[in-house]
Copies of this chain bind each other. A is one copy, B any other.
Amino acid sequence: MDILTVARHAGVSTATVSRVLNSSNKVKSSTASRVRASIEKLQYIPNTSARSLRSGKTNVYGLVVSDIRNPFFPDLIEHFESLATSHGIDVTFANTGYSEERLLAGITRLLERNVDGIALLTSEVSQAAIDKLHESAVPVVFLNQPTIGAEFKNITIDYVQGFSDAVEHLRMLGHRKIGFVAGPPNLSSAVRRREAFLTALNARSLPMKSEWLLEGDHKTTGGQFAAEHIFSMQDPPTAVVCSNDMTAIGLLQTAHRLGRNIPGDLSLVGFDDLFLSEIVQPPLTTLHLSRREIATRAFYALHSGNANASASRSSVIQPSLVVRASTASIARSDRESQPRQRRSSRR
């Protein structure tokens, strides 16, 4: 079932069939409808390989993410995919599992597939990967890669403002000893989050003991590890900010296991606002990061050609603080130098 069969059936040439397929306006409407009838009758489906061989376009975007098990990414994928398919574009998928090796392999695969664009919604981009993308001239959009040159599009997230809000929230609650559980040090997004946190601390002249600065892995295991450390410290922080929600949730879980109370013994702030954050006990105070917005910008960065490229490059996504129940006023024994206080006025 090829285009020639349709052409014969409709009594026209293949060129004309192709034109109605691609909705060229140079076909008389009576001819067009006759062709369309034949297409319908014969159940003709154009061959994608032939199409993209000739036209050079595949109508496929590659989407690469770090860790599909982190609920942050399924949201992202869903939005990206539904946006893409509504524009007639399919998405092939690559999961790196935070491995640079798998990232490079994934990019190679996508390049071999001649995808029309690649959304690299991941953090562990190595120089080798960037070089490879650079020489293949395929449109690429990154998520929050500060070191990326202007030849690539980049969606930036305002970590500084986000963590500033988080720290300020804790400060208002009376916390002065605030710890941080970072992500893996080879992840640029994790590094930037950590720096943004430290900036927020500095701006408020809050103390930072290196002991309070823990390293996680952006998974629950990192949080579990951190919890064990924190609750065995001589001088523990009274509040902890985590580099992402999964870390905070792992911490929460271990706190439970150790018989500690959140937020009674420790206030906890996450980052991402996974749906999980509402579900855990206590519901997690966290920074909301809109997946829909990221997916939308990523898609249009690839799709709109270069139309509003510069506009979308300059824009920045703002996280917003969502206060739930994992943070509370500093109280009880933690407020060392002050008398015990029942509660602050009314609330």
Contact = CB atoms under 8 A, between A and B. Distances in A.
B78 A105 contact: no
A9 B85 CA distance: 41
A50 B82 CA distance: 28
Query: Is the contact region of chain A dominated by helix, strand, or loop, or is it mixed?
Result: helix
Contacts of A73: 74
A202 interface: no
Contacts of A75: 69
A53 B47 contact: yes
Nearest to A46: B112
Contact of A91 (B82, B93, B253, B256): B93
A78 B69 contact: yes
**Contact-residue size bin, chain A (C-beta under 8 Å from the other chain):** 35 or more
Quickly give the copy total for this chain.
Answer: 2
B93 A93 contact: yes
A48 interface: yes
A323 interface: no
A109 B91 contact: no
A268 interface: no
A279 interface: yes
A53 B49 CA distance: 5
A197 to B, nearest CB: 24
A43 B228 CA distance: 51
Interface in A74-122: 74-75, 77-78, 81-82, 85, 90-95, 97, 105-106, 109, 111-114
A71 to B, nearest CB: 7
Nearest to A89: B109
B93 A48 contact: no
Contact of A49 (B52, B93, B106, B256): B52
Contacts of A109: 85, 90
A226 interface: no
